[in-house]
Chains A and B, each alone.
Chain A
Amino acid sequence: MQQPEQRDEVEMLSLMLLIRRFEERASQQYQAQKIGGFCHLYIGQEAVVVGVVSAARPDDYLITAYRDHAHALARGTSANACMAELFGKATGCSRGLGGSMHYFDKERHMYGGHAIVGAHVPLAVGMAFASKYRGEDRVTLCFFGDGAINQGAFHEALNLAALYKLPIVFICENNLFAMGTSVERSTSLKEIVDRAEGYDIPGTVVDGMNFREVRDKMAEIIGSIRRDPHPAFAEIRTYRYRGHSMSDPASYRTKEQLEKFRLDDPITRLRAQLTREGKLTNEQFDIMDKGAKETALASVKFAEESPDPPLEELYDYTYVSEARA
């Protein structure tokens, strides 16, 4: 019989696979012009959000930036609802009104999906403020990219969180590039994590290509926040295999760099760890991967067959009416 922890790890690997296969399908559908606007893929970064989510409680508040498909999937939003959102359909997780960059799932405590870089970091602080105000022991998980750390909103938010001792972990997904600008071309500090020190917030560097390290370090941080509310900062170093968005060939970086990270692939690594420890067979892995591919493919069919949001509802979401509230 499997230990709960082992079962969890296999489940988490399965989730990482689902994210990757979903993003691959999204890429294909984008190229087939089924998806409009911008589309930012998470391929390569899977261990980050899955590691964090596996260390957190399902009712901890989670909020992120525009590379958000994986965050919804990790929280349990269905691939169908995620793909339908990309297709702009009424069955999407934001009813087709948000799109790729604005995924929301209130029931699963996924608070967006925010596309103005850095602007959601103060929102996260407000959510953490609400937890403390109500005396809850929830922790707010605030994800953002390395591009956000030079925005004023980010700095104001860190100061406020430290000042009010709020239960929040600022999670910088450092994938080395803010769109096409590398960290060394954008940031005066050598180490992003040092930003936290300026606000008297404890910082940790985490290897984002290693699921176990993400989970374990985040479990420690989240546990300590839950015991005694305070902000913390985690710089999780990772890499996106694709360009910034679908329209970006990523010519600003070298093939060698990409290959180096591909060799350190988070899915391959966790699979190897589990296989080596006798917790996963090749057959089991293949079945999981096949399942992930099927789920992703089925989500395309679901999205295609779903209806557009009705035109009559155009004005229904500008103001909430008394009746709705």
Chain B
Amino acid sequence: MREITYRQALNEALAEELTRDPNVFLMGEEVAEYNGAYKVSQGLLERFGPKRIIDTPISENGFAGMGVGAAMVGLRPIIEFMTFSFSLVAFDQVVNNAPNMLTMSGGQFNIPITFRGPNGPAHQLGATHSHATECLYANVPGLKICTPATPRDAKGLLKTAIRDDNPVLVLEAELLYSSKGMVEPEDFELLIPLGKAELKREGSDVTIISYAQSVPMATAAAEMLENNEEISAEVLDLRSIKPLDLEAILQSVSKTHRVVIIEQDRPFCGVGAEICYRIQKEIFDSLDAPIMRVAQEDVPMPYNERLERAVLPSVEKLVTAVKKVCYT
């Protein structure tokens, strides 16, 4: 194991999969000569050449659609969105074409495509650039969605996504690109399955369900709760939104009987709403308190820093919610 950044981990995953399979190529805005808007594709053009690392014009609908078409005839495209906020310009391709093709063609055409890029609010980017798109895409059958929160997961999930024969969205966390973590050596075949949550921290009083940028908040809150409130919080990192690891959720909640979900998306029809429904449906009797959610406020993202902070989930909001479900 060695310590690398989330950004390096993604870069390694891309390089390894490009090396492994000549049908894999990377396409998007500024991925080649500029080395990636967030430097995830640093050095790939030099290594793999312009045939496989392809700069596009600002045409998300066009190049996302190209990816779907190339996948129909046997290539395995990786389409980078500079941010998933821009994927909304290609919404029709991601929602209507990629995931519907298998059904519409009666099973003749699966679409082995990876859409990847940063997702979720970052810092003072305003309303158009701060979308957390997971709840939009989770509503679409035929898509798989993962949300790595650590360098190790970033590498392992991206590699798995590229090898998956279905359309997979790898929603990277913009705020975590420079974060560091331990990852196996480069030659190690690190594949992390989609649909498997990870227990980040064991606890007995409450389960905190988190994913993506909310994972570090969850672990920080758990530390504080332990030290200041004598509350033992278990932290679960979903890692994938779809498929959802319901088993891991139910197992933890059956033990703690209390739940707070911290999510980076909006509250109305957000990911947490679905998880609440599943928990109460399966193990209603095992709950000792209503489930709480910490999500964004239901407003377009304001630019002002203080207001933005008020909209976003935070460690403080999470601690308050946990204390509430623990009746302390």
| Interface assignment of B224: CB less than 8 Å from any CB of chain A | no
Q: Are B70 and A122 in contact (CB under 8 A)?
A: no
**B63, B69, B101, B166 pick with most chain A CB within 10 angstroms:** B69
| Interface assignment of A324: CB less than 8 Å from any CB of chain B | yes
Interface residues on A, range: 35 or more
Instruction: Give the segment of A28-36, A47-55, A98-106, A267-275 that binds chain B.
Output: A98-106
- Inter-chain CA distance A44–B109, complex, in Å, is 31
| Interface assignment of A37: CB less than 8 Å from any CB of chain B | no
Q: Are B57 and A112 in contact (CB under 8 A)?
A: no
Q: Which B residue sits closest to A166, measured CB to CB? A: B66
A157: chain B residues within 8 A (beta carbon): 62, 65-66
B68: chain A residues within 8 A (beta carbon): 122-123, 126
A254 to chain B, nearest CB (A): 35
B13 to chain A, nearest CB (A): 20
Q: Are B108 and A320 in contact (CB under 8 A)?
A: no
The one of A63, A104, A121, A152 that contacts B108, using a Cβ cutoff of 8 Å: A104
Q: Are A318 and B103 in contact (CB under 8 A)?
A: yes
B103: chain A residues within 8 A (beta carbon): 97-98, 317-318
- Inter-chain CA distance A180–B112, complex, in Å, is 38
A74 to chain B, nearest CB (A): 18
B308 to chain A, nearest CB (A): 31
| Interface assignment of A183: CB less than 8 Å from any CB of chain B | no
Q: Are B108 and A130 in contact (CB under 8 A)?
A: no
Instruction: Give the segment of A17-25, A88-96, A233-241, A296-304 that binds chain B.
Output: A88-96
| Interface assignment of A145: CB less than 8 Å from any CB of chain B | no
Q: Are A104 and B104 in contact (CB under 8 A)?
A: yes
Q: Which B residue sits closest to A105, measured CB to CB? A: B108
- Inter-chain CA distance A272–B224, complex, in Å, is 89
| Interface assignment of B185: CB less than 8 Å from any CB of chain A | no
Q: Are A319 and B92 in contact (CB under 8 A)?
A: no
A114: chain B residues within 8 A (beta carbon): 97
Q: Are A320 and B102 in contact (CB under 8 A)?
A: yes
**B62, B72, B107, B112 pick with most chain A CB within 10 angstroms:** B62
B102: chain A residues within 8 A (beta carbon): 317-320
Whether A318 touches B92, Cβ cut-off 8 Å, given contacts A95-B107, A129-B69, is no
A274 to chain B, nearest CB (A): 36
The 8 A CB mask of A308-325 against B (1 = contact, 0 = none) is: 000000001111101011
- Inter-chain CA distance A186–B73, complex, in Å, is 34
- Inter-chain CA distance A152–B72, complex, in Å, is 22
B248 to chain A, nearest CB (A): 20
A140 to chain B, nearest CB (A): 8
Q: Which B residue sits closest to A316, measured CB to CB? A: B107
Q: Which A residue sits closest to B69, measured CB to CB? A: A126
Q: Are B65 and A125 in contact (CB under 8 A)?
A: yes
| Interface assignment of B2: CB less than 8 Å from any CB of chain A | no
Q: Are A111 and B96 in contact (CB under 8 A)?
A: no
Q: Which A residue sits closest to B71, measured CB to CB? A: A126
Whether A125 touches B104, Cβ cut-off 8 Å, given contacts A156-B61, A159-B62, is no
Total contacts A-B at CB 8 Å: 148
Q: Which A residue sits closest to B243, measured CB to CB? A: A319
Interface residues on B, range: 35 or more
| Interface assignment of B67: CB less than 8 Å from any CB of chain A | yes
**B97, B101, B106 pick with most chain A CB within 10 angstroms:** B106
Q: Are B62 and A113 in contact (CB under 8 A)?
A: no
The one of B73, B74, B108 that contacts A94, using a Cβ cutoff of 8 Å: B108
Q: Are B59 and A133 in contact (CB under 8 A)?
A: no
A123: chain B residues within 8 A (beta carbon): 65-66, 68-69, 72, 97
Whether A153 touches B57, Cβ cut-off 8 Å, given contacts A119-B92, A129-B70, is no
B78 to chain A, nearest CB (A): 13
- Inter-chain CA distance A120–B69, complex, in Å, is 8
The one of B66, B72, B104, B166 that contacts A160, using a Cβ cutoff of 8 Å: B66
The 8 A CB mask of A226-259 against B (1 = contact, 0 = none) is: 0000000000000000000000000000000000
Q: Which B residue sits closest to A322, measured CB to CB? A: B165
B19: chain A residues within 8 A (beta carbon): none
Q: Are A318 and B142 in contact (CB under 8 A)?
A: yes
Whether A125 touches B66, Cβ cut-off 8 Å, given contacts A159-B57, A160-B56, A318-B103, is yes
| Interface assignment of B93: CB less than 8 Å from any CB of chain A | yes
- Inter-chain CA distance A319–B99, complex, in Å, is 8
A157 to chain B, nearest CB (A): 6
Near A by CB (< 8 A), chain B positions 50-104 give: 51, 56-57, 59, 61-75, 77, 92-93, 96-97, 99, 101-104
Q: Are A153 and B65 in contact (CB under 8 A)?
A: yes
| Interface assignment of B110: CB less than 8 Å from any CB of chain A | yes
Near A by CB (< 8 A), chain B positions 284-328 give: none
Q: Are B65 and A121 in contact (CB under 8 A)?
A: yes
B103 to chain A, nearest CB (A): 4
Q: Are B72 and A325 in contact (CB under 8 A)?
A: no
A263: chain B residues within 8 A (beta carbon): none
| Interface assignment of B115: CB less than 8 Å from any CB of chain A | no
A66 to chain B, nearest CB (A): 11
The one of B62, B73, B77, B112 that contacts A122, using a Cβ cutoff of 8 Å: B62
- Inter-chain CA distance A104–B97, complex, in Å, is 14
| Interface assignment of A26: CB less than 8 Å from any CB of chain B | no
The 8 A CB mask of A150-169 against B (1 = contact, 0 = none) is: 00110011011001000000
Q: Are B65 and A159 in contact (CB under 8 A)?
A: no
The one of A63, A97, A126, A319 that contacts B166, using a Cβ cutoff of 8 Å: A319
Give me 17 A-to-B residue pairs in the complex whose CB atoms sit less than 8 angstroms apart, sorted by A's number: A94-B104, A94-B105, A97-B104, A104-B106, A104-B109, A111-B109, A119-B97, A123-B66, A125-B66, A126-B65, A126-B71, A131-B73, A133-B51, A160-B63, A318-B99, A320-B102, A320-B110
Additional A-B contact list (14), CB under 8 Å, known A102-B105, A153-B62: A94-B105, A96-B106, A98-B104, A102-B104, A112-B105, A119-B93, A120-B65, A122-B65, A123-B97, A130-B69, A133-B51, A320-B102, A320-B110, A325-B165
List residues of B whose CB falls within 8 A of some A CB: 25, 51, 56-57, 59, 61-75, 77, 92-93, 96-97, 99, 101-110, 112, 141-142, 144, 165-166
